[in-house]
Amino acid sequence: MHKGKLFVFSGPSGTGKGTIVKELLKSPDTWFSVSCTTRAPREGEIDGVHYFFVTQEKYDQMVEEGGFLEHASIYNNSYGTPKAPALEAMEQGKDVILDIEMQGAFQIKEAYPDAILVFVLPPSLKELSNRIHHRGTETEEQIQVRMATTLQEIEQLPKYHYFLINDDLDRAVEDAKSIIKAEHCKVDGAASSVINRFKEEK
């Protein structure tokens, strides 16, 4: 029937978009794009599951070869979405889910105008700061850098198609599922294939 769609979940760090995305991936119709990164694995992170942890040389080579759908450097580390597996998953009818930061989201919007951009917002700036402290994976200095850019990031909201406020995880996940469903019920681009299906039946 339809090819899968490309959903980009992004927003400030610490909003819990990873948790929302994990819930979406319980559906067999979704496929998660595992990014490449040059940063070191954190406690509990598995190569090939959370990220492909690659050297800067390997990363640079992939950039050179056009192997990424998008790529960006954040906080001195580089990240990229491998192109071939994502395109293949969509070809197979899966909805491809990206959990990436905003520079990457805008690159995707440019290159793939059909992509759907979803902004995941924290309940408040104070709550966001509490969550990042609680996670305990970053130094105070790194947290300060992240918080300083958060408001500027939120000001980019008009460039997105949808937003979610992650104050209640279950509700946020329901909203995310509704967004995916709504996109599949859109007439845009699907009209002729739907009409033809009924014509063929006649």
Q: Which residues bind ligand 5GP (CB under 6 A)?
A: 13, 35, 39, 70, 72, 74, 79-81, 99-101, 103-104
Closest CB 74 distance from ligand 5GP, rounded Å: 5
DSSP character for 115? -
- Cβ-based nearer residue to ligand 5GP, 67 or 184: 67
Distances from the Cα of 97 to the Cα of 14, 22, 27, 107, angstroms: 18, 10, 11, 15
The residue among 100 and 128 lying less far from ligand 5GP, judged by its C-beta, is 100
Q: Determine contact, residues 72/104, Cβ cutoff 8 Å.
A: yes
Q: How far is the CB of 116 from ligand 5GP (least distance, A)?
A: 16
Beta bridge partners of residue 73, listed in sequence order:
78
Nearer to ligand 5GP, 78 or 94 (CB): 78
Choose between 35 and 150: whose C-beta lies nearer to ligand 5GP: 35
Q: Which residue is nearest to ligand 5GP (CB)?
A: 104
CB-based burial of residue 157 (10 Å sphere; 0-12 exposed, 13-18 middle, 19+ buried)?
exposed
